[in-house]
Amino acid sequence: MVDNKSKSCILPMARIKTVMKGSPEVENISNEAIFVMTKAAEGFVALLLRQTLKASDNKKQVDYPDLANIVNNNENFVFLRDIIPPKIKGRGST
């Protein structure tokens, strides 16, 4: 049954499990919990991408500045601001 669930996921469940086990508070994780977290992560990525595409006039390619713009201008993504800051041009940059 877990194999069928993993086939319905885009992100690898094993990778999500590894991330979850990286938390010192986590000892045991059920397969159902891994599946649900995987689906939640996929939903989050889809939401971030939809918002980014919407803000960038539905370009076919999403670039770092597009992601940084949505993260820094949308309160739903405030927790990502330290991870995805806007690029700052150095002196002499155009």
Tokens matching residue 71? 């993260």
Predicted TM-score (pTM) above 0.85: no
pLDDT at 12: 93
Provide the residue type at 40 as one letter: A
C-alpha to C-alpha distance for 65 and 59, rounded to whole angstroms: 13
Sign of CA dihedral 58, 59, 62, 64: negative
pLDDT value of position 61 = 87
- Give the span between the Cα atoms of 72 and 48, in whole angstroms: 12
pLDDT band at 93 (very low <50, low <70, confident <90, very high): low
Helices and strands in the chain: count of H runs, count of E runs: 4, 0
Model confidence pLDDT, tens digit, residues 25-78: 988 999 999 999 999 999 999 999 999 998 888 788 889 999 999 999 999 999
The count of C-alpha atoms lying within 13 angstroms of the C-alpha of 77, restricted to the half-sphere facing its C-beta, is 22
